Amino acid sequence: MLEHLKEEVLQANLDLPKHGLVKYTWGNASGIDRERGLFVIKPSGVEYDKLKPNDMVVVDLDGNVVEGELNPSSDTKTHAVLYKHYREIGGIVHTHSTWATIWAQAGLDVPAMGTTHADTFYGAVPCARFLTQEEIDRGYEAETGHVIIETFKERGLNVLEVPGVLLQGHAPFTWGKDAKSAVMNSVVLDEVAKMNLFARELNHFAPELPQSILDKHYLRKHGKGAYYGQQ
Ligand SMILES: O=C(CO)[C@@H](O)[C@@H](O)COP(=O)(O)O
């Protein structure tokens, strides 16, 4: 089942260490088949260089395993909540990539300080709050998804225009029209997190981009409606 999607998601997971986004198995990528309402995700704890297409786990939107011998990623419920809520998302990546995780642990949004950022994210990448004890007791992974949704709602952000988030004290999640796009957005997020950190080291008062430049770069690449390059 979903052989093509398994291949696509396998490649996305192999791209995580290739782009230096993960140590050990600190990350997972998934992709969804919207027609069937099923998504494919990395198995939990399996080293990337040992992964095969049939190791990928097929899961429904409630996080139940539909096909696969191995346990799905421990973050499966977060992916499921996001897929359920945002029909426009086709792929999701979660890593503990170093530079974005530094901002997550500092509890800070990653500001739009450069055009590198603006080409992918139409503004700051928000840092969502810590989960409460009550939310953790209810189910850490699913509630992580709900806190991300709450953050975007409260900020009036569009997931197509800002395809990523930090979780305070945890790490980033990114998404896209498919798993490959979600990986690319994770690479960009980690890179701009690194650039920003050193820019602020050089000049603590380094400003964010003026809206006019943010508009120019983001809308030139993504156009109005901001649907991953839809003009
Ligand atoms: O965030 C964490 C651990 O803190 C997990 O995302 C990471 O270790 C990956 O776990 P999985 O191997 O996908 O279950």
Q: Encode pLDDT of 27-56 as tens digits.
A: 999 999 999 999 999 999 999 999 999 999
Alpha carbon nearest to ligand 1 atom 7, residue: 26
Cα 222 to ligand 1 centre (Å)? 31
Asked if residue 230 has pLDDT above 50, the reply is: no
**Average pLDDT rounded to a whole number, residues 152-165:** 98
Q: HSE, CB side, 13 Å, CA atoms: give it for residue 17.
A: 12
**Average pLDDT rounded to a whole number, residues 98-112:** 98
Provide the pLDDT confidence category of residue 227 given band limits of 50, 70 and 90: very low
Of ligand 1's atoms, which has the minimum distance to the CA of residue 95? 6
Percent of residues, the chain, with pLDDT higher than 90:
94
For the annotated catalytic residues, the residue numbers are 119, 228
> Which ipTM value was assigned to this complex?
0.95
Residue 148: predicted pLDDT: 98
Residue 200: predicted pLDDT: 98
Cα 98 to ligand 1 centre (Å)? 14
Question: Rounded to whole angstroms, how far apart are CA atoms 111 and 126?
Answer: 8
- At which residue do the structure tokens 């964010």 appear? 208
Domains belonging to the chain, first-starting first, are 3-222 (3.40.225.10)
Question: Rounded to whole angstroms, how far apart are CA atoms 105 and 195?
Answer: 17
Of ligand 1's atoms, which has the minimum distance to the CA of residue 42? 13
Question: Rounded to whole angstroms, how far apart are CA atoms 40 and 3?
Answer: 10
What value does the mean pLDDT of the chain take?
96
Sheet holding 27-33, edge to edge: 65-67, 57-60, 38-41, 27-33, 91-95, 172-176, 164-167, 127-128
**Average pLDDT rounded to a whole number, residues 165-170:** 98
Asked if residue 63 has pLDDT above 50, the reply is: yes
- State the pTM of this model: 0.96
Cα 110 to ligand 1 centre (Å)? 22
Cα 214 to ligand 1 centre (Å)? 33
Asked if residue 231 has pLDDT above 70, the reply is: no
Pick left, alpha or beta for residue 162 (phi over 0 → left; psi -120 to 50 → alpha; otherwise beta).
beta
Name residues contacting ligand 1 (CB within 6 A). 25-28, 42, 44-45, 73-75, 94
Alpha carbon nearest to ligand 1 atom 5, residue: 26
